[in-house]
Amino acid sequence: MFNKYILEARELPILSMLERIKSQLMTRFYNKQVEVAEKFSGPVCPKIRKKLLKNADYANVCYVLPAGHGIFQVQSKGGDYIVDVLKKKCDCRRWDLTGIPCNHAIACLRHERIPAEDLLPACYSTQTYSSVYGFTIMPCKDKSMWEQTNGPEIQLPIYEKKVGRPPKSRRKQPHEIQTSQGPKLSRHGIAITCSWCGKENHNRAGCSLRKLGIKPTQATHVEEQQLEDDGEEEPVITQEMGRPQPAALDPDETMLSQMLHEASSGPSDMQHGPLPDSVFIGENQPVARPVAPTTASKAGKAALKRKVAAVKKRKTAGNTTGAAKTTKKSKTKPKSGEKET
């Protein structure tokens, strides 16, 4: 509000700007003092009195049920509201936010024979209003009558013309930008949550599970299965035997009992031979078939262009050879009336 009030003055040089703002404030304070003396009557300011009278009219349709200790239940337009006169609170929250008793509070005050003006804050009183604007700003002398000092001379700032129209409004903070849903706040520092998997630090567009086509329920099942697999110990497979290693023998067991145990196993368990050599595996790898180039790739397009150019070249060469043969025959053909040799 004050920025709009000094909109014309702030474009002037520094001394002229201060003089203009001082003159505006001096006139404003004088007008407010005259307004208090002539237009104000009573202990409450006129605008606050109008709001009280409006709420008093709405209080005529309120039905009050006292509960004791300054607490009332008010029925108004099909709804119930709890009013605490001692704490100056109401469920509609109008009294809490503005300090002016709402229609439910005025109905309760009427029940207790209490004037609504007695519960108004002191800032809405005429005495406070007059004390705020009671200070008088004195006028200053002309510049020619100012006292000369040895201070540095104030020069005009270097003016630099910028591109475009200069702004008129003040740069607002992010919390001051108003939208249809209220003030616009920055989302800096807020941890985003994915709506697909429910995890933090990424959104739906960057979710790896959604790109793979895995639903959140399936992902949970896969994670549980992986945890179960990690908890189980896999048996150790030897390269020679191809079977789990036997458990460690007791220290009391002799070498003879160990030999008898291996002999009792029989040759039936020795079915797996040695693993094939790595050279044999490398030689028997399947050979990848060459993929024919298509026009969908750059190599395919280049091959097609070369093929078309070769066909055109062959056609041109064929036409040139045919024309040369026809010319040679026409030269060797005898004229009419002469005998052929």
The domain spans of the chain are 1-43+125-140, 46-120
- Distance of alpha carbon 261 from alpha carbon 256, whole angstroms: 9
Cβ contacts of residue 125 below 8 Å, gap of 6+? 43, 44, 45
Which of 323, 320, 301, 322 is closest to 312 using CA atoms? 320
Coil, helix or strand for 174? helix
Tell me the two tokens of residue 181.
């849903």
- The pLDDT value recorded for residue 341 is 45
- The pLDDT value recorded for residue 15 is 85
Which of 94, 96, 61 is closest to 79 using CA atoms? 61
Tell me the two tokens of residue 13.
């040089």
Coil, helix or strand for 258? helix
Tell me the two tokens of residue 2.
């004050």
User: Strands 63-68 and 71-76, how do they pair?
Assistant: antiparallel
- Distance of alpha carbon 67 from alpha carbon 84, whole angstroms: 10
Collect the ranges in the chain with pLDDT lower than 50.
236, 238-244, 246-247, 249, 251-252, 268-269, 341
Number of residues written out for the chain = 341
- Distance of alpha carbon 117 from alpha carbon 48, whole angstroms: 10
- The pLDDT value recorded for residue 251 is 47
- Distance of alpha carbon 45 from alpha carbon 36, whole angstroms: 9
| Phi then psi dihedrals of residue 9, to 5 deg | -75, -30
Residue with tokens 């920055």: 186
- Distance of alpha carbon 96 from alpha carbon 79, whole angstroms: 19
User: Exposed, middle or buried: residue 9 (CB in 10 Å: 0-12, 13-18, 19+)?
Assistant: middle
- The pLDDT value recorded for residue 317 is 83
- Distance of alpha carbon 278 from alpha carbon 274, whole angstroms: 12
